[in-house]
A = this chain, B = another copy of it.
Amino acid sequence: MTDCKYDVLGLGNAIVDVIAQADDDFLQREGLGKGSMALVDEARSAKLYGAMGSSIIISGGSAANTIVGVASFGGKSAFIGKVKSDDAGLAFTHDIRAVGVHFATTPAVTGPATARCLVMVTPDGERTMNTFVGACQNLTVDDVDKSLVEASAIVYLEGYLWDPPHAKEAFVKAALIAHAAGRKVALTLSDSFCVDRYRGEFLELIRNKTVDIVFANQHELKSLYQTADFDTAVAALREEDILGVVTKSAEGSLVVTRGATQAVGASPIEKLVDTTGAGDLFAAGFLFGYSRNLEHAECARLGALAAAEIIQHYGARPETGLLQLARDNGLI
């Protein structure tokens, strides 16, 4: 898969994260479901920001985090997503380009501000997110550069793209172009509530072979198959006959195919600080390994390593070069 100009192209919401510590009382007082991602409008976002503690601002966005992770492993990567030409949009653009990611989506000059995600991190390291999708509402099929998709070995799409009005059309267009060019298409289910909102469509994407690889955590997988029993959900995923990658937090991950289910352990950590981006960076490691034609279990080990790095500090962008980290751990 190395004859392509890019190893992985991500398509997702371009978001800046505003991260603050919060306690459980705060979540309760503000009516926030712990561990979830809720959509909010600009007014609610501003009100919640006013109530939040002192914060740090770091570029985010689920697929964008993954793409930055791929670049940190030394992979060639690109991103499509919509910011506005405001301060946050400039920061997002700077940060993703600074790590060598190709990012050339035209920013919006009018309309809502660059998307921001208010991330509240509780003392247990869990993150609770409230997202104002802002300028992401302006992502359309016109932003999907055909030649860029064709030049990418894997196209990685986030389920969150179903939230803005037109981004799902961009998603489908990118997937069709990729398959026509013989490329692979991967999907992350993003969030269990997101699965709740678009369950039928996500199942359709899997069953009509729009996607070849699906990433999910336990909650998302159970939501997808509307079961409280994880094993039942895994069994259902096996029946789909695609490559399924299921993360289980501290319990590691499962690589699920029709033929087999392989379990891979999590990487050890010293101290859990902030789980934001754990799934995104797991996907980064997995996809990087996949682009290098590594065994699935090896891909999952790279994913676990990247996830372990990201949860030991605030924010969902790596603070340590993942290529060196992988070498130091004897994984590549």
Contact = CB atoms under 8 A, between A and B. Distances in A.
- By CB atoms of chain B within 10 A, which of A49, A52, A56, A94 has the most? A56
A59 B54 CA distance: 9
A98 interface: yes
Interface string A244-278: 00000000000000000000000000000000000
Nearest to A90: B49
Interface in A54-69: 54-59, 68
A105 interface: no
A20 B98 CA distance: 10
* Interface class of chain A by DSSP: mixed
Contacts of A53: 98-99
A287 interface: no
A88 interface: yes
Number of copies: 2
Contacts of A24: none
Q: Which of A20, A50, A98 has the most CB of B within 10 A?
A: A98
A50 B97 CA distance: 10
Contacts of A317: 54
Contacts of A319: 21, 314
Contacts of A12: none
A55 B94 contact: yes
Contact of A94 (B50, B91, B95, B315): B50
A87 interface: yes
Contacts of A57: 56-58, 91
A295 interface: no
A229 interface: no
Nearest to A95: B54
Contact of A87 (B20, B56, B88, B313): B88
A58 B58 CA distance: 9
A231 interface: no
Nearest to A16: B57
Nearest to A53: B98
A142 interface: no
B50 A315 contact: no
Contact of A99 (B50, B54, B58, B315): B54
A124 interface: no
Interface string A294-331: 00000000000000000001110101000000000000
Interface string A172-188: 00000000000000000
B95 A55 contact: yes
A201 interface: no
A1 B293 CA distance: 68
Contacts of A87: 86-88
Closest 10 CB pairs of A and B: A57-B57, A54-B95, A87-B87, A54-B98, A56-B58, A53-B98, A54-B99, A56-B56, A54-B317, A55-B95
21 contacts: A20-B98, A21-B319, A50-B94, A52-B94, A53-B98, A53-B99, A54-B317, A55-B91, A55-B94, A55-B95, A55-B98, A56-B56, A56-B57, A56-B58, A56-B315, A57-B58, A86-B87, A87-B87, A87-B88, A313-B313, A314-B319
